[in-house]
Amino acid sequence: MTNVYDVEPNDLIDLAKEELKKVESVKMPEWALYVKTGSHKQRPPEQEDFWFIRGAALLRKIYTKGPVGISRLTREYGGRKNYGSAPEHHVDAGGKVIRVLLQQLEKAGYVKKSKKGREITPAGMKFLDNIAYKVSVTPKAEKPRKTRIFKPEMEKIDKKKAAETPIVEKVKKKK
């Protein structure tokens, strides 16, 4: 059977996000629209469903990394803070979003508390493994190949016409 390790993380998180929207205990609070996810960010998230994306990413991270504490998760979701002309330094993410999401995932039965931190429950494993199976079964759309733009009029430039253009004449006059 396919599990989380066998599929692309972005595809898994995209599908898990849609499934988390159906779970009643996972809901975005009103304050989440106005809150930055860390002091290293300049603005709040622009995506309307960032709450469910972060929830799916947290579930996957807890699945892959084992029992994880909130401070470790804030470190992983942190980033570089811009201090202007001074050098940048790593800053941890805000803990409120992560903490509230983990509490909601606990109510849903996907995560549980342990001495070492939060760990995934068998129901959470089943949830993610089923999504991983769906991701592996669905055919991937091929990405369009980047092609070189070909313009026939650009292929051959007549030297006489190029010499007659005003730009070339100005350059000749300067010499």
Does residue 168 have a pLDDT over 90? no
Residue owning tokens 């066998």: 6
pTM: predicted TM-score of the whole model, two decimal places: 0.76
Looking at residue 5, the DSSP 8-state letter turns out to be G
CATH no. of 4-137: 1.10.10.10
Task: Please report which confidence band the pLDDT of residue 115 belongs to, taking 50, 70 and 90 as the band edges.
Answer: very high
Q: How many CB atoms lie within 10 A of CB 15?
A: 19
pLDDT digits (tens, 9 = 90+) for 56-104: 999 999 999 989 999 999 999 999 999 999 999 999 999 999 999 999 9
CB 97 within 8 A of CB 56: no
How confident is the model at residue 153, as a pLDDT?
57
CB 120 within 8 A of CB 110: yes
End-to-end C-alpha distance for the chain, whole angstroms? 74
